[in-house]
Structure 1
Amino acid sequence: MTVSFESIREQVAAGDASGAWVALTQVCGYPNGGALGDEGFAEAMALAVVITRELAGPDGVATMAAAAAAPDDPQALYDAGWWLTEERQFAIAASVLERANQVAPGQPGIVGEFANALEHLLYYGPAALVIEASGRADDDPLLAYLSGFYWLMCGDLERPRARLRRLAGVTEANLVFMREALAGMLARADALGAAGVGLGQDALTAWHAVLNGSLLLHESPHGHPEPMHGRYAFLNDSPALQRLGLDRLQRLLAAVGHEPERILAAPDRASRILAHAAAQLFDRPVEPWTDDVGRRGLVVVWSLDAVADPAFLGGMRSHAPGRPLFVHATDWIEPFAYAPDVATLLAQVVRHPFTGGALTFDPETQKVGQAEADPRDDAELGGLIAAEPVADDSATPLEQVIAIDRALAGLPAPQRPGLRREAGSRPIHRAGSPVPSNRFT
């Protein structure tokens, strides 16, 4: 079905404002917004105001209305794009900011916000080109960093080195942080190159270590290499896959000489179940996590997105001696703020097998449903995971993960992978990488 402004108006009239917004995103979200022309853009913005009135508060309406009334005012467009970005409506935000950049090219604030919206859409190449076209990366430190980072996310190592040199003299704390983060990524890339570890368009595990300082244990064999390159889009997690992750984790820790004193369970149920399985396999006691950083142990989490405890999430932001962070499932499209030291897998949408919500199929009714939470206690369910036979179908040998760790172990402490660090903040977890994968949009 072809989406048109008229069909969107009909949806609004029928009371389906949410559906109308999705349809509007298809029509004028990036990159389609650039092809609308002046009249089409004005109509799209007028519709955006009507829908925003239904879905958002008065501040949003006022901001969008100002841009609709003055579609050639760069400040009004910037304000609307910024508000849309804050509301996580990145596709329409990018189109609005693209127009602002066309009306007033080369303004660092507009260029940076436009690139930021593209980044959230994983359009790293277009974001890098937007900054290059502005000509401002040579005189604006923030754009210099963004240029270097975006080119790195495209697999280019040379242009980021040039941008890093541009940042050598910055003193503002935020820019120093960005410079050191970019320097760390480049240092890890160089160390892997020196060790003969390739960084091509299929090197998911290597790039994961470069960008996040994190070791990835499992690349999916399904759709490997094309179109998934080792990631999952949707995953119904299973005891077998959790058992595989723990088996590889155990072998990795043995190879690097890290034997945990105990297992520390994150406070959510999915993590407690996994921690009980780890305790049985490692033959170590399992205890609830506490904020006592002197209490050494392997911290076990099913997914950071499933943990709702602010004390835990804040406490694990920094490394501590003898407290590595293992996370089974990590979102690669909208990842958690910081990266685990070790992760089993990358998935966009994942459902736990025991805590409710896993998809089921009834062969009699031919209908898909959702599983209820398993009433058995955490220790019993952990035992089921531990009892699973190991079926290692990973597309990447564990020996390669170990080789990546060893290649990075000799770097200065702030640049080493998380498993080799005992202090400092965990790196930001970057969305995507130079390795492409299909995903839900």
Structure 2
Amino acid sequence: MTATLESIREQLAAGDASGAWRALTQVFGYPAGGSLDEEGFAAALTLTVSITHELAGEEGVAKMVPAALTPDDPRALFLAGWWLAEERQFAIAASVLERANQLAPGQAEIAGELANALEHLLHYGPAALVLEASGRADDDPLLAYLSGFYWLMCGDLERPRARLQLLADVTETNLVFMREALAGMLARAEALTAAGVGLEGDALTAWHAVLNGSLLLHESPHGYPDPMHGRFAFLNDSATLQRLGLARLERLLDAVGQRPERILAAPDRASQILAHAAALVLERPLEPWTADAGRPGLVVAWSLDHVGDVAFLRGMRDHAPGRPLFVHVTDWIEPFAYAPDVATLLAQTVLHPFTGGALTYDAATQQPGRAEPDPREDAELGALVAATPVADDSAAPLERVIEIDRALAGLAADRRPGLHRAGGPRLIHRAGSPVPSNFFR
């Protein structure tokens, strides 16, 4: 049954505030909120306040009440939308900010915050159009950068180049950082184009390198090209996929002359298992990771989102000579703050095969279940992964990855892929790309 404002009120009255909020997001979140008339918009705002009271208490209500009382006040709507975005409620934030932008067009603050909410929803095209319509991307440096970035995320290279020129004279630290980030993305895109590597709408691996300076080893053949274009929405990881990643990693490192001295394992169990496998496949000694950046080696992690060790995560923010970072699986919807130098695959939700929680199926009862943590030693499980036959069914040939690496390796140090950097911070990992994939909302 399709939710309505009235059914959501009933759900809230029944004590299900969280369910009411999820239903409200479907009715009032972007883009559905834009179809509400003035009366419906005002009613939805009032309902937002009621649910917020249950979920966020008086502090949240104080942020939302002015907008509900004066739904035609763009400043009140802006402040409510800003607070919602801070709370990561981007869908409803975008609807509230869209209304503010309609009431007060051309205000850089409102247009920028609306574009930010749309960005977090991966609506890069609408975000770019909001900034174009505002007319402020020509005179506001922050919006000039955002406009260039959003157009790049739509696969457009010409408009980002024009926006970059507007940032030539900026001196404020954050704006300089943004300008250089955009310049780096454009430089990598231009180098690939010059090398004959296409950047079409299905070029997932190429765009991944452009945006993140990261080499992607595997594109899923399932749902390829539509609707996934090589990514995973949900993944029950397996020894087979991990072995495929290590086989491709070995070939890549040999091709670029970077077979490591040793394997350095991230501290969590999933990474320890993978690192044991990597040491066997690459025939290198295995050692635990330490903060000593002077000890070269390939750092191996299963997923940065699952490591949990603050010292490790902070220690890997910057490149170090001879210390590349390989991560098996990376979230592409809400990625970790920085990009690994090499990744096997992109998945939104992933379960590890040995650490507990992986989906199972009981053939006798025909019921799904959840796996318990595997009691075997990490070294034994790593050996199991290393001994698994390689089943290379990737939709992208590894030769394409190597071609991408060779096209980018000769760029200036702050432009080239992470695999060829000896210092400086790792690049921000961007959510999504010009290549679309389905995902869970």
Counterpart in 2 of 1:250? 250
1:22 aligns with 2:22: yes
1:151 aligns with 2:151: yes
Aligned-residue sequence identity (percent) comes to 79
User: Which amino acid in 1 is paired with 2:321?
Assistant: P
Counterpart in 1 of 2:40? 40
With the length of structure 1 as denominator, give the TM-score of the two structures: 0.99
What SS class does the counterpart of residue 234 from structure 2 fall into? Answer: strand
Counterpart in 2 of 1:190? 190
Shift of residue 405, structure 1, vs aligned partner: 0.2
- Following TM superposition, the consecutive aligned residue runs of length 4 or more in structure 1 with deviations greater than 4 angstroms are none
What does 1:138-287 align with in structure 2 at a 5 Å threshold? 138-287=138-287
Shift of residue 57, structure 1, vs aligned partner: 3.1
User: Which amino acid in 2 is paired with 1:170?
Assistant: V
With the length of structure 2 as denominator, give the TM-score of the two structures: 0.99
Counterpart in 2 of 1:86? 86
User: Which amino acid in 1 is paired with 2:118?
Assistant: L
What SS class does the counterpart of residue 345 from structure 2 fall into? Answer: strand
Give the whole-Å Cα distance in 2 for the aligned partners of 1:209 and 1:120: 21
Shift of residue 70, structure 1, vs aligned partner: 1.4
Deviation digits for residues 410-432 of structure 1, max 9, x if unmatched? 10000000001010111100000
Counterpart in 2 of 1:288? 288
1:430 aligns with 2:430: yes
Give the whole-Å Cα distance in 1 for the aligned partners of 2:70 and 2:337: 36
1:301 aligns with 2:301: yes
Shift of residue 309, structure 1, vs aligned partner: 0.9
What SS class does the counterpart of residue 67 from structure 2 fall into? Answer: helix
Shift of residue 201, structure 1, vs aligned partner: 0.5
5+ residue gaps, structure 1, are none
User: Which amino acid in 2 is paired with 1:119?
Assistant: E
Counterpart in 2 of 1:134? 134
Shift of residue 286, structure 1, vs aligned partner: 1.0
What SS class does the counterpart of residue 227 from structure 1 fall into? Answer: coil
**Aligned-pair Cα RMSD in Å:** 0.7
Deviation digits for residues 371-396 of structure 1, max 9, x if unmatched? 11101111010000000011100011
Counterpart in 1 of 2:95? 95
What does 1:405-420 align with in structure 2 at a 5 Å threshold? 405-420=405-420
What SS class does the counterpart of residue 413 from structure 1 fall into? Answer: coil
What does 1:362-441 align with in structure 2 at a 5 Å threshold? 362-441=362-441
Shift of residue 67, structure 1, vs aligned partner: 1.1
Shift of residue 347, structure 1, vs aligned partner: 0.4
Give the whole-Å Cα distance in 1 for the aligned partners of 2:108 and 2:266: 42
What SS class does the counterpart of residue 361 from structure 1 fall into? Answer: strand
Number of residue equivalences: 441
Shift of residue 364, structure 1, vs aligned partner: 2.4
Give the whole-Å Cα distance in 2 for the aligned partners of 1:113 and 1:367: 46
Task: Give the stretch that moved more between structures: 56-65 or 175-184.
Answer: 56-65
Shift of residue 323, structure 1, vs aligned partner: 0.4
Give the whole-Å Cα distance in 1 for the aligned partners of 2:306 and 2:435: 26
Give the whole-Å Cα distance in 1 for the aligned partners of 2:104 and 2:282: 60
Counterpart in 1 of 2:330? 330
Give the whole-Å Cα distance in 1 for the aligned partners of 2:140 and 2:388: 55
5+ residue gaps, structure 2, are none
What SS class does the counterpart of residue 428 from structure 1 fall into? Answer: coil
User: Which amino acid in 2 is paired with 1:90?
Assistant: F
Shift of residue 215, structure 1, vs aligned partner: 0.2
Deviation digits for residues 257-309 of structure 1, max 9, x if unmatched? 01211111111110000000001111111111111110111000000000111
Shift of residue 319, structure 1, vs aligned partner: 0.3
Shift of residue 250, structure 1, vs aligned partner: 0.6
Shift of residue 87, structure 1, vs aligned partner: 1.1
User: Which amino acid in 1 is paired with 2:271?
Assistant: S
What does 1:57-68 align with in structure 2 at a 5 Å threshold? 57-68=57-68
Give the whole-Å Cα distance in 2 for the aligned partners of 1:264 and 1:431: 27
Give the whole-Å Cα distance in 2 for the aligned partners of 1:147 and 1:156: 11
Counterpart in 1 of 2:52? 52
What SS class does the counterpart of residue 368 from structure 2 fall into? Answer: strand
Give the whole-Å Cα distance in 2 for the aligned partners of 1:58 and 1:422: 50
Give the whole-Å Cα distance in 1 for the aligned partners of 2:272 and 2:2: 48
Task: Give the stretch that moved more between structures: 365-374 or 234-243.
Answer: 365-374
Give the whole-Å Cα distance in 1 for the aligned partners of 2:254 and 2:63: 56
Give the whole-Å Cα distance in 1 for the aligned partners of 2:38 and 2:368: 45
Counterpart in 2 of 1:321? 321
What SS class does the counterpart of residue 226 from structure 1 fall into? Answer: coil
Give the whole-Å Cα distance in 1 for the aligned partners of 2:281 and 2:335: 28
Shift of residue 192, structure 1, vs aligned partner: 0.3
User: Which amino acid in 1 is paired with 2:231?
Assistant: R
Give the whole-Å Cα distance in 1 for the aligned partners of 2:36 and 2:135: 26
What SS class does the counterpart of residue 415 from structure 1 fall into? Answer: coil
Task: Give the stretch that moved more between structures: 53-62 or 392-401.
Answer: 53-62
Task: Give the stretch that moved more between structures: 55-64 or 138-147.
Answer: 55-64
Shift of residue 41, structure 1, vs aligned partner: 0.8
Give the whole-Å Cα distance in 1 for the aligned partners of 2:29 and 2:231: 26
User: Which amino acid in 2 is paired with 1:64?
Assistant: M
What SS class does the counterpart of residue 414 from structure 2 fall into? Answer: helix
Deviation digits for residues 348-382 of structure 1, max 9, x if unmatched? 11000000111111222222111111011110100
Task: Give the stretch that moved more between structures: 29-38 or 145-154.
Answer: 29-38
Deviation digits for residues 233-278 of structure 1, max 9, x if unmatched? 1000000100000010011001100121111111111000000000
Give the whole-Å Cα distance in 2 for the aligned partners of 1:129 and 1:222: 33
User: Which amino acid in 2 is paired with 1:377?
Assistant: E
What SS class does the counterpart of residue 56 from structure 1 fall into? Answer: helix
